[in-house]
Chain A
Amino acid sequence: MKNIIILGWQTLKKPSAYYSLGALVIGGFIAGIIFWGGFNTALEVTNTEEFCISCHEMEDNVYEEMKATIHFTNRSGVRATCPDCHVPHNWTDKIARKMQASKEVWGMIFGTIDTREKFLAHRRGLAENEWRRLKANDSLECRNCHNFDYMDFTEQSERASYQHSTALADGEKTCIDCHKGIAHQLPDMKGVEGW
């Protein structure tokens, strides 16, 4: 085993004797495009709703619950899909989130939440993960669509415009502080701030 590694390293260290520099550079460039493009395509495939709800855990629980909410069906027909809210849009953050998601693959394989009962038992913890993430990044995924600078307070109800022009405007609160459970049902909220 050790010999093979040493042999491999020595091969890599040696200057190329047979191939021209041009062939290596162009070949490397093309290979780079193929690998990088393939990687990104695969990444985007995992970033679609079809992929998310290909597991029954997602399709039977959170997706079903979302169908009745305003983020699924509304007057203008704009809708949010799973990754719009649950995956950061920024590349580095996205990769970080995707690495965390490997734990979800583990959960899928070993059936951590493969029944409704198990899912409900884990719901508070799962919800807290998302609340913590959105609190930490100042509700970045909300703000990808809901831009505070373009909010028209006169179009909002009195209560909404009051809260948005005070607590939200001076940064005391962020979206998720008040808007919990807008896309999925809530866990038991005992002890949560504001409940």
Chain B
Amino acid sequence: MKNLNLAVIASLLVLTVSPVLYSLSANAADKETVNSVATLRDHTPIMVQREPNAIPKVINKDIKQGRNYPMQPPVIPHTIRGYEVNKSNNKCMSCHSRHRTEKSQAPMVSVTHYMDRDGNFLAEMSPRRYFCNQCHVTQLDAKPLVENTFTDMHSLMKEKSKAEKH
């Protein structure tokens, strides 16, 4: 009887302590692997004001960049500080619109920007495509938080045909 009592107490002890131990070890693992991309606060205690990161600069090289994922709207390779895109003006269109590209030699906006949602062509830019920054963004000269493993379709097909040849 005494032995049984001891066994019960021991098992109860194990049951109560093991989740705590387990969660402790899991937390440690979390910090190293699962949470390696931290929030902007970066594990700063709630009562402490974190020193903010330096703001990276906008890439202003005017060199077209590849897409980072399928169907990505082309990114803007120059600064757009002070560019107005509002009810009365669209600064982007002063270079990229269809009647300005000859003078500016900037890439022309695609014809889809002149189509309404039913596919009808309009004389002016479609209102749903008017606000450039909804899709097109500048890039910052910063270290990416996560690595991008995107491979576009053409490289995939090339690899496949190469593999088949061998």
B78: CB under 8 A from chain A?
A: yes
Complex CA–CA separation, A68 to B94 (angstroms): 22
B51: CB under 8 A from chain A?
A: no
Of residues 84 through 117 on chain B, the ones whose CB sits less than 8 Å from some CB of chain A are 84, 88-89, 91, 93-94, 103
Which B residues touch A188, using CB under 8 A? 88-89
Of residues 32 through 71 on chain A, the ones whose CB sits less than 8 Å from some CB of chain B are 68-70
B147: CB under 8 A from chain A?
A: no
Complex CA–CA separation, A159 to B88 (angstroms): 26
For the A-B complex, the count of residue pairs with Cβ-Cβ distances under 8 Å equals 33
Interface flags for A60-93 (1: CB within 8 Å of B; 0: not) read 0000000011100000000000000000000000
Q: At the interface, is chain A mostly helix, strand, loop or mixed? A: loop
Complex CA–CA separation, A113 to B87 (angstroms): 21
A22: CB under 8 A from chain B?
A: no
B133: CB under 8 A from chain A?
A: no
Interface flags for B53-70 (1: CB within 8 Å of A; 0: not) read 000000011100000000
Let me know if B82 and A189 touch, CB within 8 A: no
B81: CB under 8 A from chain A?
A: yes
Let me know if B94 and A69 touch, CB within 8 A: no
Let me know if B82 and A186 touch, CB within 8 A: no
Complex CA–CA separation, A195 to B85 (angstroms): 13
- Partner of B78 from the list A68, A69, A157, A195 (CB cut-off 8 Å) is A157
Let me know if A157 and B60 touch, CB within 8 A: yes
Complex CA–CA separation, A115 to B164 (angstroms): 73
Known contacts A69-B82, A70-B81, A194-B94; is A186 also within 8 Å of B88 by CB?
yes
User: Distance (Å) between the CB of B34 and the closest chain A CB?
Assistant: 39
Which A residues touch B62, using CB under 8 A? 157-159
Which A residues touch B81, using CB under 8 A? 70
A185: CB under 8 A from chain B?
A: yes
Complex CA–CA separation, A194 to B101 (angstroms): 11
Let me know if A159 and B84 touch, CB within 8 A: no
Which A residues touch B89, using CB under 8 A? 181, 186, 188-189, 195
Closest to A71 in B: B82
Interface residues of chain B, those whose CB is within 8 Å of chain A, are 60-62, 78, 81-82, 84, 88-89, 91, 93-94, 103
A–B Cβ pairs within 8 angstroms, 5 of them: A68-B82, A157-B61, A181-B91, A189-B89, A194-B103
